[in-house]
Structure 1
């Protein structure tokens, strides 16, 4: 059977994202939408841009910690270039060369073998996602009457418990799985080491910035929502945008925010604009990584 080209999936996901975004914004009241854009507080907008920039700096430090746990020492400046370049490819040129591929290739260029380079990027991803789900679960467990709290709490809890069980069980079952999967048992064994605690601490700081990004974006449109609510909904956005529905979560991000924030007295126009602002500031923050590559 002939394999479907990757380019087909790229254009399909882009078409889905643009189509959903067009459908969503066409349903809005355009005078209200225009008024919200004009009323945007650009001081909060600049802070919204600074948040992912700080996130890139923190994420690079976290990645450096992951490498150290694997016995690999590389300078922060070198890793920042790889990480920022990867962010550029993820955000500005999605579907061409993945950001993870850029990071792995950068490590290989400095003499790191393919397997540890891949493990370093994979571990960085996994620990960040798990900590994000833990923050979301903690926010859901905090007593409140926030909408969608219960079912999102179950979803976050399932992923947190699943991660813990994987770390505990995979090393025990390593001999029962095919050889190509056994490296993940080794990965789980590595995560049991207490040397990971500082790296997990950096992951907490980064995921806190993910929460702050949503909080700041809503403030930019004069629609403040509590940090507790943002801790829940921002982590839900992370999961939703990871689904292979649209390119980089375009359209899906905005639609999800409209649904999640509807019961928080946030106008749908504001929720969608906040989602687009989160995406656009993330794109702008990664542009220096592309310039760094060219330089």
Structure 2
């Protein structure tokens, strides 16, 4: 029942937001002509689809770098396939099975006994993404800092709020890493023996120890993953820049790269279906405030960028329907 209510609410929110957008900007008069421009500006449309795939490819590369620290013989093709299929679940996530859930299930099925390392590696994968997008946003903000007073109050508020959000995320990541260290856990056991000695808490401590072991094993690989992740974010953001150009709009590339971390964060909130409505409203507001892009153009560009990524979600859905589950047997298991 709770699942049905959650799905219904997300469908309702997306529907209401899109209805309001299309009411403010007539779908037939303002939006549809922009989509007809996709046929004329087909090189930008093709570039957007290519950048969307490049984003998926680099996302798979980032996770593969981390997974190779746990399973050296893991083929990259398997990780890339899981990433493309997960795009289908991310795009069509009306239920509880999202892209991350699929990736954990898929790789755990193929790597017997590796469920916890696979899950932790995916957490590290997202942490590398958080660090890289924080660095990218910081670089963009430094580049546009001289124009700060030209931005409207709403735009400055969004920038400030996102900066606090991503900065807090990076700080929380560092605090979590310190908390999981064995000497910190040992101090907790000595200081709070009754609490830390409780059977339920003891299981949590055991899991925290396992997580720390994976952290310790993979932290060097996180540096490489963070570099790759920066390219991944740029490729994903470029797909929306191509969407803007494909619908006949124009804005400085730096402005789009500055706005997109906030747009992506807003779209990832679990309040709508695939971010629909939320993404368009945020993209519209930021591009209008940063570069004076007409609101109808901003909405059309956001939908076009989403469609470029939707294309690979459909491809992922086809791969999922045709998939045959196999297992990679670890070398030590074959020799046992």
- TM-score normalised per structure 1: 0.88
Unaligned runs of 5+ in 2: 189-195, 323-336
Secondary structure of 2:68's partner? helix
CA contact (8 A) 2:48 2:308 kept: yes
Aligned to 2:257: 231
Aligned to 1:157: 167
Provide the C-alpha distance between the structure 2 equivalents of 1:122 and 1:256, rounded to a whole number of angstroms: 27
Aligned to 1:167: 177
Aligned to 1:92: 92
Deviation at 1:207? Answer: 1.1
Provide the C-alpha distance between the structure 2 equivalents of 1:222 and 1:213, rounded to a whole number of angstroms: 14
Deviates more, 1:30-39 or 1:83-92: 30-39
Residue of 268, 271, 278 corresponding to 1:242:
268
Deviates more, 1:183-192 or 1:88-97: 183-192
Question: Are positions 1:80 and 2:85 aligned together?
Answer: no
Secondary structure of 2:274's partner? helix
CA contact (8 A) 1:174 1:185 kept: no
Aligned to 1:145: 147
Q: Which has the larger Rg? A: 2
- Superposed counterparts of 1:123-272, under 5 Å: 123-142=124-143, 143-145=145-147, 147=151, 148=155, 150-151=159-160, 152-171=162-181, 173-174=184-185, 176=188, 178=201, 179-180=203-204, 182=208, 186=212, 189-190=215-216, 193-263=219-289, 264-272=291-299
CA contact (8 A) 1:44 1:217 kept: yes
Provide the C-alpha distance between the structure 2 equivalents of 1:97 and 1:193, rounded to a whole number of angstroms: 29
Unaligned runs of 5+ in 1: none
1:185–1:57 CA distance, 2 compared to 1 (3 A): closer
Deviates more, 1:72-81 or 1:268-277: 72-81
Question: Are positions 1:284 and 2:311 aligned together?
Answer: yes
Aligned to 2:326: none
Aligned to 2:22: 25
Provide the C-alpha distance between the structure 2 equivalents of 1:51 and 1:187, rounded to a whole number of angstroms: 35
Residue of 4, 10, 14 corresponding to 1:13:
10
Aligned to 1:66: 66
Provide the C-alpha distance between the structure 2 equivalents of 1:191 and 1:268, rounded to a whole number of angstroms: 48
1:76–1:157 CA distance, 2 compared to 1 (3 A): same
Provide the C-alpha distance between the structure 2 equivalents of 1:104 and 1:38, rounded to a whole number of angstroms: 40
Deviation at 1:187? Answer: 7.0
- How many residues are matched? 292
1:193-217 CA-to-partner distances (Å, cap 9, x unmatched) read 3232222221111011122122222
CA contact (8 A) 1:28 1:269 kept: yes
Aligned to 1:275: 302
Secondary structure of 1:39's partner? helix
Deviation at 1:170? Answer: 4.2
1:60–1:170 CA distance, 2 compared to 1 (3 A): same
Deviates more, 1:152-161 or 1:123-132: 152-161
- TM-score normalised per structure 2: 0.78
